[in-house]
């Protein structure tokens, strides 16, 4: 991890020094354990603050939407696919961006770690040799890294950036994973069970829109929740309105979500919103064999068609 941090600092400093970019977007160490802050370095001096560890979860491509000028961004596998989508959707152009690719072994889930520590406050987290060491008042706990990973990372099939100008670490071995068995379990339920299931998991939603705002691909100038003529979704905590917000947001992500997990990471209530987005990923893979953000030549599936698309459900 520290080696990666050093590389980020080195490359960032070089890019800023040569004025190849105006700003480098990465992370600096958070003021509390288990979270890091997106950092926008504009001078080689500021680039010294870049940091890298298992809590660099958030998708930094979120800060590139409609950005002007030249920018460098630190991108993991999922982030790089988001960047491809951003290029496809013209939110930023390829020649504006210098991609500092970081092959990723997975990011850590602070909620999992806190559950492991129980009621003891975690004051320090150290990662070494495949373990995560938690320390606090009367707390010293060692966990294997695999048990502490964010869910999206446990099933990630693109841990290496698919596109990068500079790669800052050795390649990670890719593997096929079982991405959809939990989705299949939900599909197997009865309709009313599914209805109740989603109502229950959405019951703690406070409409803070952290999920929406953390997502690079939610960038509509006017979000559908703010449209009042007509008002598609009410603003109150009516459970049907909360449900509708998540239904529509998931639909907007169809064929666009790279499963970076930023939505779930940002959510203060720990709502597993990826159970919705991954259902759509499953549909799109099965129907049209498409995976998001793998190549610049790809076209988001809802923005295109084939004359012989499957239509078994149409009368």
Partner 1 sequence: MERSEQKEESWEPKILAFLCNWCSYAGADLAGVSRLQYPHNIRVIRIPCSGRMNPAFIVAALRNGIDGVLVSGCHPGDCHYLSGNYFARRKFTVFKSLLEYMGIEEGRVHFSWVSAAEGEKFAQVVREVTEKVKALGPARNYVKERIEVC
Partner 2 sequence: MNAKILPKANVSGFLGDLRNKGYEIWGPVEVDGAVDIMPLDGNASPVTEYWNSRVSPKAMVFPQSERMFVFSVDRSRPDAFILKEVEEPRIGRLAFAIRPCDARAFGILDKVFLVQGAWKDPYYARKRESMVVMALGCNSPCSTCFCHWTGGGPFSREGVDVMMTDLGGGFLLEPVTDKGKELLAGIDLSGASPSNVEEAKRLQDAATTAMEEPLDPSGIRKRPLLEMFGDSYWERAHEACIKCGTCTYLCPTCSCFDIQDEVRGPCGIRGRNWDTCMFPLTTLHASGHNPRPTGKERFRQRFMHKLRYFLDDFGTIMCVGCGRCVQFCPVNIDIREIIRELRG
Q: Choose among partner 2, partner 1, none what residue 209 binds, the Cβ cut-off being 5 to 8 Å by kind.
A: partner 2
What's the rounded Cα separation, in Å, for the pair 53 and 29?
Answer: 9
Q: Choose among partner 2, partner 1, none what residue 58 binds, the Cβ cut-off being 5 to 8 Å by kind.
A: partner 2
Site string for partner 1, 170-199 (x = CB under 8 A): ----------------xx---xxxxxxxxx
Between residue 221 and residue 280, which ones bind partner 1 under the rule CB under 8 A? 224, 230, 232, 238, 240, 243-244, 247-248, 250-251, 254-255, 276, 279-280
- Taking the complex as a whole, how short is the minimal distance between the CB of residue 41 and partner 1, in angstroms? 40
Which residues, 6 or more positions from 290, have their beta carbon under 8 angstroms from its beta carbon? 255, 284, 298, 301
Chain residues binding partner 2 by CB under 8 A are: 30-32, 35-40, 58, 62-63, 111, 115, 119, 121, 123, 137, 204, 206-210, 212-214, 226, 231, 234-238, 262, 265-266, 268-270
What's the rounded Cα separation, in Å, for the pair 64 and 217?
Answer: 10
What are φ and ψ of residue 296, in 5° steps?
-60, -25
User: Is 205 a residue that touches partner 1 (CB under 8 A)?
Assistant: no
Site string for partner 1, 27-66 (x = CB under 8 A): ----------------------------------------
Q: Dig out the tokens for 134 from the structure.
A: 């938690």
Binding residues with partner 1: total (CB under 8 A):
43
Q: Choose among partner 2, partner 1, none what residue 187 binds, the Cβ cut-off being 5 to 8 Å by kind.
A: partner 1
User: Is 313 a residue that touches partner 1 (CB under 8 A)?
Assistant: yes
The residues that bridge with 71 in the sheet, in sequence order, are 23, 97
Nearer to partner 2 (CB atom), residue 82 or residue 160? 82
Assign residue 69 a region: left if phi > 0, alpha if psi is -120 to 50, beta otherwise? left
Nearer to partner 2 (CB atom), residue 128 or residue 235? 235
- Give me the sheet containing 97-101, strands edge to edge: 36-41, 23-29, 71-75, 97-101, 166-167
Which residues, 6 or more positions from 48, have their beta carbon under 8 angstroms from its beta carbon? 9, 13
What's the rounded Cα separation, in Å, for the pair 233 and 225?
Answer: 6
Asked if 282 and 253 count as a contact pair (C-beta separation under 8 A), the reply is no
Which residues, 6 or more positions from 271, have their beta carbon under 8 angstroms from its beta carbon? 201, 202, 204, 205, 211, 264
- Footprint on this chain of partner 1 (rule: CB under 8 A): 186-187, 191-199, 224, 230, 232, 238, 240, 243-244, 247-248, 250-251, 254-255, 276, 279-280, 283-284, 287-288, 301-302, 304-307, 309-311, 313-315
């Amino acid at each position: 991890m520290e080696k990666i941090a050093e590389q980020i600092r080195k490359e960032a400093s070089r890019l800023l020094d040569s004025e190849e970019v105006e700003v480098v977007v990465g992370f600096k160490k958070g003021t509390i354990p288990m979270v890091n802050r997106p950092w926008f370095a504009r001078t080689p001096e500021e680039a010294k603050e870049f940091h890298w560890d298992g809590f660099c979860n958030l998708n930094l491509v979120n800060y590139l939407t409609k950005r002007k000028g030249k920018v460098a961004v630190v991108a993991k596998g999922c982030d790089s696919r988001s960047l491809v989508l951003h290029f496809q959707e013209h939110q930023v152009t390829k020649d504006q961006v210098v991609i500092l690719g970081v092959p990723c072994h997975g990011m850590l889930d602070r909620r999992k770690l806190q559950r492991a520590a129980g009621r003891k406050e975690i004051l320090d987290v150290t990662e070494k040799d495949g373990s995560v060491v938690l320390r606090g008042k009367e707390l010293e706990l060692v966990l294997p890294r695999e048990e502490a990973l964010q869910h999206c990372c446990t099933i990630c099939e693109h841990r290496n950036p698919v596109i990068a100008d500079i790669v800052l670490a050795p390649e990670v071995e890719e593997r096929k994973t079982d991405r959809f068995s939990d989705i299949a379990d939900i599909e197997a339920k009865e309709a009313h069970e599914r209805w109740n299931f989603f109502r229950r998991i959405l019951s703690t939603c406070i409409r803070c829109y952290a999920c929406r705002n953390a997502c690079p691909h939610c960038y509509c100038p006017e979000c559908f929740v703010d449209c009042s003529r007509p008002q598609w979704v009410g603003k109150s905590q009516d459970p049907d309105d909360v449900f509708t917000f998540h239904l529509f947001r998931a639909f907007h992500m169809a064929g666009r979500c790279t499963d970076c997990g930023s939505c779930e990471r940002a959510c203060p209530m720990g709502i597993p919103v990826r159970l919705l987005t991954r259902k759509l990923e499953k549909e799109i893979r099965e129907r049209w064999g498409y995976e998001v953000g793998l190549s610049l030549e790809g076209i988001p599936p809802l923005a295109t068609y084939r004359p012989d698309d499957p239509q078994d459900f149409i009368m």
